[in-house]
Structure 1
Amino acid sequence: MKTILYFLSLVLLTTLVVSCTPEPKPIAYGQANCAHCNMTVADNRYGAELVNDKGKLYFFDSAECLMAYVNEQPEQGEQAAFLLVTDYTNPNELISAKDAHFLQAKALPSPMGMYITAIADKAAATKMQQEVGGRLLTWNEAVKAVQNNERPE
């Protein structure tokens, strides 16, 4: 009997540990609301996601909403298990925000009007910049641009 109780306790403990492991989930476009501005997350080229250290998911309608959120609540960004943005060149694919390349260009209007587009591949981002203009930014530069409300002219 003790062996069965020990085994069941071990299974329950393992299940609890595994179920609490933070991991990203696909964004439910058209159903999820932005944690920053409360708009419906609708455009699958611009969505973003924060997964906190406890596994709670926060969805955003754009990279700039995620950036504004971490500007306003820096501890959320610092303690996040995942900061993710959608790769514009591959809609619905979430990539690490800190590894993404951000193109801020007037020709690419994003949902919140900061004209910030995330792209996974640096060569693709550079090519797009050559085609539409604008400036390439790192995660930290883009966060600062949002903080300073910098928009292209």
Structure 2
Amino acid sequence: MKNLSALVVLILTLVSCSMEKQPIAYGEDSCDFCKMTIVDQIHGAELITDKGKVYKFDALECMLNFEADMDKEKVGQFYTNHFLNPGELIRAEEASFLITENIPSPMGEFITAFPSQKEAEKVQAEKDGEIYNWEALIKQQNH
């Protein structure tokens, strides 16, 4: 019986520390940085700590500002919604980002994610702006 109890505790611990992204409940969830209700399915974002705690944001810039105040060792994964399939979360480190005033975003920094640079370039041809990868976006935001 003692072994069974230990096994149950171990399983519960592993499940509670999962680093799985969670769906954003648009119109219900609040941004963990600015506290606004998350309604925009193109610009939402999510940060997961290395212990599995999920933080949700209404815009990439909120996630970046929130993360800047965190202990870097605690960040596990970054996710972002993207322009081509609203509501879908993709890994931010693998995305390309277009900053253009021709695509409004909730916090007014005009950052929009795309699953690839090629897709970002297609929209850039119509909407202008500058394209960044994840590292360049972080540097640009920290200037």
TM-score by length of 1: 0.85
Which AA in structure 2 matches 1:87?
H
Q: Percent identity of the aligned residues?
A: 38
- Give the 3 Å change call, closer, same or farther, for CA 91–14 of structure 1 in structure 2: same
SS in 1 for 2:33: coil
Deviation at 1:102, TM superposition (A): 0.3
Deviation at 1:100, TM superposition (A): 0.8
- Number of residues of Structure 1 aligned to a counterpart in Structure 2: 143
Q: Does 1:53 align with 2:86?
A: no
Larger radius of gyration: 1
Deviation at 1:28, TM superposition (A): 1.0
Deviation at 1:37, TM superposition (A): 1.1
Counterpart-to-counterpart distance in 1, 2:117 and 2:61: 19
**Correspondence for 1:24:** 21
Q: Does 1:117 align with 2:112?
A: yes
SS in 2 for 1:59: strand
Q: Could you list the runs of 4 or more consecutive aligned residues of structure 1 that deviate by over 3 angstroms after TM superposition? A: none
SS in 2 for 1:14: helix
Counterpart-to-counterpart distance in 1, 2:104 and 2:112: 8
Deviation at 1:11, TM superposition (A): 3.1
**Stretches of structure 2 lacking an aligned partner (at least 5 in a row):** none
What is the aligned counterpart of 2:75 among 74, 77, 80? 80
**Correspondence for 1:151:** none
For the 8 Å contact 2:81–2:90, the answer to whether it is kept is yes
Structure 1 residues 53-86: Cα deviation after superposition (integer angstroms, max 9, x where no partner): 121111100111111222333x25x532221110
Bigger proportion of residues as strand? 2
**Correspondence for 2:96:** 101
Q: Does 1:7 align with 2:10?
A: no
Q: Does 1:63 align with 2:57?
A: no
